[in-house]
Amino acid sequence: MTVLNSKIPQGPVSEKWTYYKAHQNLVNPANKRKLDIIVVGTGLAGASAAASLGELGFNVKIFCYQDSPRRAHSIAAQGGINAAKNYQNDGDSVYRLFYDTIKGGDYRAREANVHRLAEVSNNIIDQCVAQGVPFARDYGGLLDNRSFGGAQVSRTFYARGQTGQQLLLGAYSALSRQIKKGTVKMYNRTEMLDVVIVDGKARGIITRDLTTGKIERHFGHAVVLGTGGYGNVFFLSTNAMGSNGSAAWQVYKRGACMANPCFTQIHPTCIPVHGDYQSKLTLMSESLRNDGRIWVPKKKEDAEAIRAGKLKPTQIKEEDRDYYLERRYPAFGNLVPRDVASRAAKERCDAGFGVGSGLAVYLDFSSAIERLGKNVIEQRYGNLFQMYEKIVDENPYETPMMIYPAVHYTMGGIWVDYELQTTIPGLFATGEANFSDHGANRLGASALMQGLADGYFVLPYTIQNYLSADIRTPRMSTDLAPFAEAEKNVQDKINRLMSIQGKNSVDSFHKRLGHIMWEKVGMARTKESCTAAISEIKALRQEFWKDVRVTGSATEFNPELEKALRVADFLELGELMAKDALNREESCGGHFREEYQTAEGEADRQDDKFMYVAAWEYQGDGKEPILNKEPLVYENIKVAQRNYK
């Protein structure tokens, strides 16, 4: 059993980070040159870390599976990035951002980490502006803000509906500058397939060149994973097609703990599923909830008529519409946090008031267009409206959008301490790949904030505290036994997959897994559904290893093999998610156990039993993992039932 030491510095929460930085060990410039760092992933968390570490003088190698580092899925984030600048003079502060994030996470995040995140949030905005990120501005030339769910202030900075793109291109440009300088070496179209542990410390990775299939060994004094989330375990999600949980799963099997894997964010505003050929779901930014009003018909017969195509939404009179979020949560209205909005949509649809296929609700801009004019709405959301129209073939200026919740983000992830270090010394995890800052539910516009906070302003400090003890460790040969063992492990897995020559495609297994996960470990979970999911996933996994068909060969560009390797890991990770959901006998944030709800249908936390981080530790194939618990202590925030009414 691993002892989880979160290494939270001493002192009051607002001074912990200052204290840490003042007392940590650093590496001098001459020694930095002698130290190699591997970064996996080129999203916000990976690219910003690699660029910053390169600037400091470390030797960095960075890897991505895409054809260019600029394609990582951070690029798809639409709405914005939070910071406690209080430029709007509306009462924001570091404390309030800290408080909102802890509360939004339903009191399942670590106070010290979240406070640090709120502290550095302002530096991120300054950094990005200096990089030339074209944030939205007012006519006076200063930065503009908008509101996001779970906050009563306007603290979200944005670049139209493409904030993630602009922030990622900022980090990519900083990374490109270091690549040119030679401090960072870039490996495109290269996927990590295992981590190498030498004498108990992470010392390298095994990769596959996706163009040639060549397996390669890479040494690093430390390894950083910025590999994103595992939402694609559900097959249909808003993640990119290639997003996967394999790096996290490989390090889990080498001894890192997986924390709160069941904490999944279901985003309330996505374009509904329309066919079984569908490959992914498209998000409509939460920022739309600033001006869009969510409703379903008040009368069941109206909903039925709409579903049958006999009635149009624009024909439903105002008094016959149920703006259920405004009705249930008058204080926050349409801007309640994501988990609350998603469950409310499911509740209405399950009760028979859904539109479209029955699994959809309306997001209506007519009153905003009336109030502000069409051109204002076009300026604010033009590209999102265009995206919607291209997919659905309906004009949202004229008829309300149809939306439904979809899997979007995983709050759970690799367990890390205050230094973002996993339970494997020398192995760090940043951004969505770790579990630390969002508790059981992430607030909108906080993912970009966390990814960049970790990469620009946290890891470049904390990794030095680790590496300072390593300055006498020379570069290791990749001929060492642990490298050979890890490479063999990878090669064996590939050979096994290629030799099955079964009858069913990789995608067919992935879809079946996604179906189990969505139905049984999705928006609402029960003891029975989680138990059933565990046994169904086990059976599916056995079938996969007997009957999957991977065409082509392992020594060529072969997307089928890439998918097979990822789905093989999802088939194990999904089971752990179900186990974690089964263990957590409470409802909190995105984790809703039907047995634990209030009379009004709100999440009913069980703080006396579950105010802890569940960090699962691998024990070997077929063996039950050990559950380690990190108790969560709230000294600065009064724990209460979340109330958005």
Partner 1 sequence: MDFTLKIWRQDGPEAKGKFVTYQIKNISHDCSFLEMLDQLNEQLVDKIEKPVCFDHDCREGICGMCSLYINGRPHGNDSGITTCQLHMRKFKDGDTIVIEPWRAKAFPIIKDLVVSRTAFDKIIQEGGYVSINTGGVPDGNAIAISKVDSDLAMDAAQCIGCGACVAACKNASAMLFVSAKVSQFALLPQGKPEAKERVEKMVAKMDELGFGNCTNTGACEAECPKEIKLTNIARLNREFYAAKLS
Q: CA-based Rg of the chain, rounded to a whole angstrom?
A: 24
319, 320, 323, 329: CA torsion to nearest 10? 70
Q: What DSSP character marks residue 278?
A: -
Q: Which helix (H) or strand (E) holds 609?
A: helix 607-610
Place of tokens 């609700």: 361
Q: Which of residues 426-465 bind partner 1 (CB under 8 A)?
A: 456-457, 460
Q: Round to whole Å and give the CA distance between 394 and 385.
A: 10
Q: Quick check: 434 and 245 in contact, CB under 8 A? A: no
Q: Round to whole Å and give the CA distance between 284 and 390.
A: 13
User: Quick one: 556 or 595, whose CB is closer to partner 1?
Assistant: 556
Q: Which of residues 593-622 bind partner 1 (CB under 8 A)?
A: none
Residue whose C-alpha is closest to residue 96's, from 18, 153, 15, 16: 153
User: Quick one: 179 or 306, whose CB is closer to partner 1?
Assistant: 179
Q: Respond yes or no: is residue 593 known to be catalytic.
A: no
Phi, psi of 134 (to 5 degrees): -80, 75
Q: Round to whole Å and give the CA distance between 131 and 47.
A: 14
Q: In this chain, which stretch among 125-133, 261-269, 329-337, 518-526 interacts with partner 1, using CB under 8 A?
A: 125-133
- Exactly one of 559, 594, 629, 639 binds partner 1 (CB under 8 A); that residue is 559
- Exactly one of 11, 12, 134, 352 binds partner 1 (CB under 8 A); that residue is 134
Residue whose C-alpha is closest to residue 204's, from 540, 600, 486: 486
- Exactly one of 4, 39, 47, 174 binds partner 1 (CB under 8 A); that residue is 174
Catalytic residue (choose from 338, 343, 442, 566)? 338
499 binds partner 1 (CB under 8 A): no
Site string for partner 1, 48-67 (x = CB under 8 A): x--xx--x----------xx
CB of 480 to partner 1, least distance (A): 31
Q: In this chain, which stretch among 166-174, 213-221, 288-296, 349-357 interacts with partner 1, using CB under 8 A?
A: 166-174
- Exactly one of 6, 113, 127, 430 binds partner 1 (CB under 8 A); that residue is 127
- Exactly one of 14, 24, 93, 176 binds partner 1 (CB under 8 A); that residue is 176
- Exactly one of 8, 129, 198, 359 binds partner 1 (CB under 8 A); that residue is 129
Site string for partner 1, 387-426 (x = CB under 8 A): x--xx-x---------------------------------
Site string for partner 1, 230-269 (x = CB under 8 A): --------x-xxx---------------------------
User: Quick one: 68 or 583, whose CB is closer to partner 1?
Assistant: 68
CB of 113 to partner 1, least distance (A): 20
- Exactly one of 61, 71, 267, 591 binds partner 1 (CB under 8 A); that residue is 71
Q: In this chain, which stretch among 21-29, 169-177, 248-256, 617-625 interacts with partner 1, using CB under 8 A?
A: 169-177
Reported as half-sphere exposure (CB side, CA atoms, 13 A), residue 41 has a value of 32
Q: Round to whole Å and give the CA distance between 100 and 123.
A: 19
CB of 10 to partner 1, least distance (A): 25
Residues 6 or more apart in contact with residue 223 via CB below 8 angstroms: 37, 38, 40, 195, 202, 203, 204, 205, 426, 427, 428
User: Quick one: 142 or 331, whose CB is closer to partner 1?
Assistant: 142
CB of 180 to partner 1, least distance (A): 4
196 binds partner 1 (CB under 8 A): no
211 binds partner 1 (CB under 8 A): yes
Distances (CA, A) of 229 to 190, 239, 244, 513: 18, 9, 7, 17
368 binds partner 1 (CB under 8 A): no
User: Quick one: 66 or 265, whose CB is closer to partner 1?
Assistant: 66
Place of tokens 């909830």: 289
Q: Quick check: 240 and 73 in contact, CB under 8 A? A: yes
132 binds partner 1 (CB under 8 A): yes
| C-alpha angle 364-368-372 in degrees, rounded to nearest 5 | 155
Q: Round to whole Å and give the CA distance between 325 and 331.
A: 10
Residue whose C-alpha is closest to residue 418's, from 196, 110, 70: 110
Q: Round to whole Å and give the CA distance between 248 and 258.
A: 8
| # residues contacting partner 1 (CB under 8 A) | 84
Q: Round to whole Å and give the CA distance between 403 and 384.
A: 13
Q: Round to whole Å and give the CA distance between 238 and 231.
A: 8
123 binds partner 1 (CB under 8 A): yes
- Exactly one of 280, 298, 299, 538 binds partner 1 (CB under 8 A); that residue is 280
Active site residues per annotation? 338
